[in-house]
Amino acid sequence: MGRMYVKNRVERSPHSRSVALFLTFALLFSVLFSQGVPARASDESGEEPVTAATEPAAESAQPAAPTPEAEPTASPEPPPTPAEESRAESEATTPDPVPAGPADSGAEEVPADTPSPMPEPTEEAAVEASPSPSPSPPPFPVGDRNADVEFPRYWETMFAALDFTGEWQSDFLLAVRSQLGYQASERNFYYSADGEQHRYTRYGAWYGYPYGDWCAMFLSFCLHYAGVSEDVMPQESGVNRWAALLQERGQFIPAGDYVPQPGELVFFTNRWDRIPEHIGVVSEVIQKEDGHFQIITIEGNRTPAVMRFLYDLNAKGIAGFGVFPQNDALTDQADGKPAVPGRGDYPDRSAQGVIPEAQ
C-alpha cells in the first residue's frame, strides 16, 4: 500500500517525484549499511575481509558460500632415532638394482673373477704406516787443515842428528825410538761419513795419506830415514800386504817357539784366521826367572801417540815376526852371527801393560 501511495504521489507532481526518489535512496542506503556490519565483524574474527564497496548490490544480497570445515591437525611425529636415520641415508644413497638386460643395452659386463678394488687408505692409516723420519746426524766439527803440517826438510833435519851405523836393524830401531811421544794432530782432522775421526800425522803425509791409518806408515817412515833399502825390508802402508811380501821373501816367522830380536817387526791379529791387522817393532826382549819371555814393543796408531807396550811372547794376539836378512858386511867373524845390539842379557821386569815413554 505504501508503494502504491508513493507511486500515485509521484505521478501527481514533480515534488512528489523528488520525495519518492529520496526515499528510494534512503532505503537503498539502509540496506547497504545493514550489509557492512558483518564485514567489520569478520575483520575482528581474523578471517579474510569482504570488500562490499566493489561488489554490485545484487551480488551482495546473495547468500555467502559455505565455509569449508578445517581438517583436524595431526599430532607431531617423534624424531627418528640414529639407527633409522642411518638406514634412511643408506637407502637413499644405494642405487636401485638394475635388471639384467640384453647385450645391446649398453651396460658392460663385469667378469665374475674380477677382483674388487682395494679400499683407499685413510689419512690416519697412511700416517701410521709411513716410517718416521730418522733424525739427521749431528754436524761434525771441522779441523784446521793447515795445523801441525810438516815438510820433508824438517824430517831430514830431525834424523840428521841421529848416529846411524849402517847396520840395518839397529839403525831402524834407533829411528823408531826417536819417535816416542809423537802424537797425531788434535787440531788437523776430519770426520768420515760413519763418524770416525781421522787425524793428520807426519807418517801419513810422507807416504801420501795424511789422514790414513798409520801403524805401518810409521815404521815405513823410520825405515826410509834410517837408510834401509826396500830390497832389505819392504815398506808398506797396509799390514796384511806387508806380511804377505815378507812371506814371499822368506822373512816372516809365525809366532810359536821363535824368540825375536830387538828391531824386528811384530804382527798382531784379532782374527780367527790369524791374518795380521796391526804392526809394531820389538824394542826389548825380557827373560823371566821362570824362563818364559816378554817383549816390549813400540807401536803407533794403537793410541793417538807413539808408545811402548808390554806383551807375553806367547800372547794369542801375536801372529808372527818380520826379520831382516843377514848383513854380511857386519857379520861377527868370531861366531858367524850378525852383530845385533840389544840382544843377549834380558832384564827381569814385572810391569805389565803400557810402558812409560823413555826420558
Q: Return the C-alpha cell found at 292.
A: 818364559
| Residue at grid coordinates 807418517 | 203
Number of other CB atoms surrounding residue 225 within 10 Å: 22
Amino acid 331: pLDDT: 56
Q: Return the C-alpha cell found at 187.
A: 787440531
Amino acid 84: pLDDT: 63
Distances (CA, A) of 113 to 98, 136, 140, 254, 271: 20, 48, 59, 73, 60
Angstrom distance (rounded) from CA 321 to CA 265: 5
| Residue at grid coordinates 784379532 | 270
Question: Per DSSP, what are the bridge partners of residue 318?
Answer: 268
Residue 98, helix vs strand vs coil: coil
51 neighbors 64 (Cβ within 8 angstroms): no
pLDDT in tens, the chain (359 residues): 445 444 444 445 556 677 677 777 777 777 666 655 444 444 444 444 444 444 444 444 444 454 545 454 555 555 666 556 656 555 554 444 444 444 444 444 545 554 445 445 444 444 444 556 666 655 788 899 999 999 999 999 999 999 999 999 999 999 999 999 999 999 999 999 999 999 999 999 999 999 999 999 999 999 999 999 999 999 999 999 999 999 999 999 999 999 999 999 999 998 777 889 999 999 999 999 999 999 999 999 999 999 999 999 999 999 999 999 988 766 554 455 444 443 333 333 333 334 333 32
Amino acid 140: pLDDT: 83
Burial of 227 from C-beta contacts in 10 A (0-12 / 13-18 / 19+): middle
220 neighbors 235 (Cβ within 8 angstroms): yes
Residues 6+ apart with CB under 8 A from 315: none
Q: Return the C-alpha cell found at 140.
A: 761434525
Residue 288, helix vs strand vs coil: coil
| Residue at grid coordinates 784366521 | 273
Residue 233 is which amino acid? M
Amino acid 148: pLDDT: 96
Angstrom distance (rounded) from CA 123 to CA 233: 70
Angstrom distance (rounded) from CA 1 to CA 4: 5
Q: Return the C-alpha cell found at 228.
A: 834401509
Amino acid 209: pLDDT: 96
